[in-house]
Amino acid sequence: MNAALQGIADAGHATHAHTGAWVAAQLRQRISQGLLPPGAKLSEQALSEALGVSRNTLREAFTVLAGESVVQRIPNRGVFVAAPGAEDVREIYRVRRLIEPAAVLWGDVPAGALDTMDAIVDKARAALAEGSVAGMADANQELHKALVSLSGSASLDALMEKVLAEMRLVFHAMATTPDFHGHYVERNAALVAQIRNGQREEAAAELRRYLDGAEHELLVHIGAIP
Amino acid sequence: MNAALQGIADAGHATHAHTGAWVAAQLRQRISQGLLPPGAKLSEQALSEALGVSRNTLREAFTVLAGESVVQRIPNRGVFVAAPGAEDVREIYRVRRLIEPAAVLWGDVPAGALDTMDAIVDKARAALAEGSVAGMADANQELHKALVSLSGSASLDALMEKVLAEMRLVFHAMATTPDFHGHYVERNAALVAQIRNGQREEAAAELRRYLDGAEHELLVHIGAIP
DNA sequence: GAGGCAAGATTGTTGAACAATCTTGGCATT
DNA sequence: AATGCCAAGATTGTTCAACAATCTTGCCTC
């Protein structure tokens, strides 16, 4: 059995309403955290035993996760943790470069939203100060999720969530983990300030440049661009 | 057995690779066409017999469709064709009002895209001339799908597809079917012309007004607004 | 007519079985 | 030694049958 599966059984296999959804959540979490790395095979037998559910229920969870592009299903070969490549990175940024600036440009800014963002920026600064790459990554994702939430749309929130989950997979797939987020902390802060000042168009334009740069940096690091 | 299920068995129950996906496609099609109307219950036993698949395989298809919001799953109650209400309509237009103008504003216009749109406009005009409401609705959806496709993103195409599928459910759920699309034919044409002329900002702004109006009109008709 | 209870029906989950396909290892051939 | 082939084993795809949990329905009592 894969070492990454150790402890899953401890998570509790009590009888839940909707066991399939519960299994999907368990796997989603393990994958997001980097256990079960990209490309890892999810064997039906091993997993069903480890989680204490039947193969049928596990397969229902696989269907959910495949719909979310969290795992890839290859007929008669099995289910694998998705391993995003350069083209996937480009697709991620196509989506982000469209919905993030659009939300900034046209979204409503409900009361408290700016304060929430300020708090996230503070968290990012604290993480930067103590050199916590993971902390900065988390804060960064939180902030950009907050930007999209200005749209007020649950569907777009869900799409952003899916895209950010794929981003985490990209990072987990990287051999080395340089500091991508350090020099974005203050750019994020400036972005929030612009939104607060009502400079929506400037913020949206700046955000698009920002995302262009981030995409390029990421593509260079995974070796897709010289 | 429900009358709407008649003939499903004829569709062929040959052994497919991925029977679950095939079943999902069958149901999706029946729902989109208006057989299996919103709110209809999809009984596991009746459907599994009609389609010639086991309950387990059918449940796998249900999981897929629930992920697409095509059906709603209520624990221990069953699976029902989604019946969108006023709040769903608002959500649909929140998404459309964000991604459509954004694609118009920031998308690339590949060679041939404008000609494709012109052809769709012509189709809409022909449908208008012969009074085909269904023809106009189809052309309208096609055009707006083409707008989003300027983004170049498969994920956004998929989101738009999902939203438009929900729109079809809304129309099917309506008691009366007035002509929503007639007075949008020329507006669509004007939109394409603006894009062709490079007036992106004007087109995006006009599109947002357009969608605002369409949402309002729809909400009035379903009785959510006086 | 309102409320409650028992019987029946439907969904949720599991285990087992078999077919289809893929992988692995060994063997023969060049 | 390298290549190609074939059989055995392992894994996935699909179905079936069974039982538990929950909901629905009809009836009975008050």
pLDDT at A17: 55
Q: What percent of chain A has pLDDT over 90?
A: 76
* Residue B179 pLDDT greater than 90, yes or no: no
How far B131 CA sits from the closest chain A CA (Å)?
A: 34
* Residue A2 pLDDT greater than 60, yes or no: no
pLDDT at A8: 39
pLDDT for A123-136, tens place per residue?
999 999 999 999 99
Residue A154 CA to nucleotide D11 C1', Å? 39
pLDDT for A133-161, tens place per residue?
999 999 999 999 999 999 999 999 999 99
Residue A48 CA to nucleotide C15 C1', Å? 12
Q: Which of residues 76-95 of A touch B (CB under 8 A)?
A: 91, 94-95
pLDDT band at A40 (very low <50, low <70, confident <90, very high): very high
Q: What is the 3-state secondary structure (H, E, C) of A124-147?
A: HHHHHHCCCHHHHHHHHHHHHHHH
Interface mutation vs chain B, best among A88, A98, A148, most B CBs within 10 Å: A98
Upper half-sphere CA count for residue B178 (Cβ side, 13 Å) = 8
Whether the Cβ atoms of residue B155 and residue A159 lie closer than 8 Å to each other: yes
- Which chain A residue is nearest to residue B99, measuring alpha carbons? A99
* Residue B6 pLDDT greater than 60, yes or no: no
Phi/psi at A129 (5° precision):
-60, -40
pLDDT band at A16 (very low <50, low <70, confident <90, very high): low
H/E stretch holding B221? helix B200-221
Residue A47 CA to nucleotide D12 C1', Å? 14
H/E stretch holding B20? helix B19-33
Least confident of A6-20, A179-193, B40-54: A6-20
Cα(A157)–Cα(A154) distance, rounded to whole angstroms? Answer: 5
Nucleotide nearest to A15 (CA to C1'): C13
